[in-house]
Amino acid sequence: MQPFKDYYAILKISRNATIEEIKTAYKKQSFKWHPDRNTGRNATLRMQEINEAKQVLLNPISRESYNLLFSDNKQQYRQQKQAGKERQPEPNAPVIVKEESTNWRFWLWLIFCVFNVLHHGCK
């Protein structure tokens, strides 16, 4: 599973940044990390992340969906960290996997994709 990307940290902006601030941050980061200015695979991957962050954060619907996932992810991380400090699981204890949280994420992603296809059409 791919780790969750913090698009706000990638563009180095706050969570309540305006559209103009996002565009300015994108220009600044893309100028800094453009593959023509930086050689190597790292610059290409970084530029892909910057483009992905811009696409998600400039679209109001995808930004709202991302913010919901972002806040849920941070909350789960804090809960896991807190639970890890309180007690360690027994070595032979059965592992219980919760799939409800990933289930709603899948449906949110699916709705988002269907909306984009219906709204923008298939290209």
DSSP state of 38: S
Number of domains into which the chain is organized:
1
Asked whether residue 45 is assigned to any structural domain, the reply reads yes
pTM reported for the whole predicted model: 0.59
- Give the range of the structural domain holding residue 77, as residue numbers without chain letter: 7-96
**What's the rounded Cα separation, in Å, for the pair 4 and 66?**
10
**Which pLDDT tens digit goes with each residue over 94-104?**
555 555 555 66
Asked whether residue 53 is assigned to any structural domain, the reply reads yes
Asked whether residue 114 is assigned to any structural domain, the reply reads no
Please say if the pLDDT value at position 113 is more than 80: no
CATH number of the domain encompassing residue 20: 1.10.287.110
- Encoded tokens for 26: 């994108």
Residue 51: closest CA among 87, 27, 69: 27
Asked whether residue 111 is assigned to any structural domain, the reply reads no
Q: Is 121 left (phi over 0), alpha (psi -120 to 50) or beta?
A: left
Query: How far does CA 18 lie from the centroid of its chain?
Result: 18
Residue 93 confidence class, pLDDT cut points 50, 70, 90 = low
Asked whether residue 90 is assigned to any structural domain, the reply reads yes
pLDDT at position 57, please?
A: 94
Please say if the pLDDT value at position 1 is more than 50: no
Residue 19 confidence class, pLDDT cut points 50, 70, 90 = very high
Q: What is the largest CA-CA distance in the chain?
A: 54
Length of the chain: 123
pLDDT at position 22, please?
A: 95
- Encoded tokens for 97: 């996997």
- Encoded tokens for 101: 């949280």
Asked whether residue 108 is assigned to any structural domain, the reply reads no
**Which pLDDT tens digit goes with each residue over 35-89?**
888 887 888 899 999 999 999 999 998 888 888 877 766 666 666 666 665 555 5
Asked whether residue 121 is assigned to any structural domain, the reply reads no
DSSP string for residues in 45-65:
HHHHHHHHHHHHHHSHHHHHH
Asked whether residue 69 is assigned to any structural domain, the reply reads yes
